[in-house]
Amino acid sequence: MTESRDLLDFYENAPLLELGGEADRIRNEKHPHGVVSYIIDRNINYTNVCVADCGFCAFARRPKHGEGYTLSFEQIGAKIDEAKMLGGVQILIQGGHNPYIPFDWYLDLLRYIKRHHPIHIHGFSPSEVDFFAKLFRMDALTVIRELRAAGLDSIPGGGGEILVQRVRDIVAPKKAGADRWLEIMELAHNEGMKTSVTMMYGLGETAAERLEHLQRVREVQARTGGFTAFICWPLQPENTPTMSHQPKTGAAEYLRTVAISRIVLDNVPNLQSSWVTMGMKIGQIALRFGCNDFGSLMIEENVVSAANTTNRTTT
Ligand code: SF4
Smallest CA separation from ligand 1 atom 2, residue = 96
- The mean per-residue pLDDT over the stretch 185-205 comes to 97
Q: Give me the chain's average pLDDT, please.
A: 94
> Which residue segments constitute the domains of the chain, with CATH numbers given?
17-301 (3.20.20.70)
Q: pLDDT value at position 313?
A: 64
In tens, the pLDDT along 69-97 reads 999 999 999 999 999 999 999 999 999 99
Q: pLDDT value at position 263?
A: 98
Q: pLDDT value at position 296?
A: 79
Residue 11 Cα to ligand 1 midpoint, Å, equals 29
Protein residues with CB under 6 Å of any ligand 1 atom: 50, 52-54, 57, 59-60, 96-97, 127, 175
Q: pLDDT value at position 161?
A: 97
Most confident option among 5-9, 149-153, 243-247: 149-153
Q: pLDDT value at position 49?
A: 98
- Cα separation, 217 vs 20, in Å, equals 21
What's the Cα-to-Cα distance from 73 to each of 36, 102, 107, 143, 206, rounded to whole Å?
34, 14, 12, 20, 42
Q: pLDDT value at position 1?
A: 46
87-115 CB burial, b ≥16 within 10 A, e <16: ebebbbbbbbbbeebebeebbebbebbee
Q: pLDDT value at position 239?
A: 83
Q: pLDDT value at position 103?
A: 98
Q: pLDDT value at position 312?
A: 63
Asked if pLDDT for residue 113 goes beyond 80, the answer is yes
Residue 62 Cα to ligand 1 midpoint, Å, equals 10
- The mean per-residue pLDDT over the stretch 200-208 comes to 96
Q: pLDDT value at position 138?
A: 98
Asked if pLDDT for residue 128 goes beyond 60, the answer is yes
In tens, the pLDDT along 282-300 reads 999 999 999 999 987 767 7
Radius of gyration of the chain (CA): 19
Residue 83 Cα to ligand 1 midpoint, Å, equals 24
- Ligand 1 pocket test target in 175, 235, 239 with most atoms within 8 Å of CB: 175
Confidence of residue 308 (pLDDT cuts 50, 70, 90): low
The share of the chain scoring above pLDDT 70, in percent, equals 94
- The mean per-residue pLDDT over the stretch 253-268 comes to 98
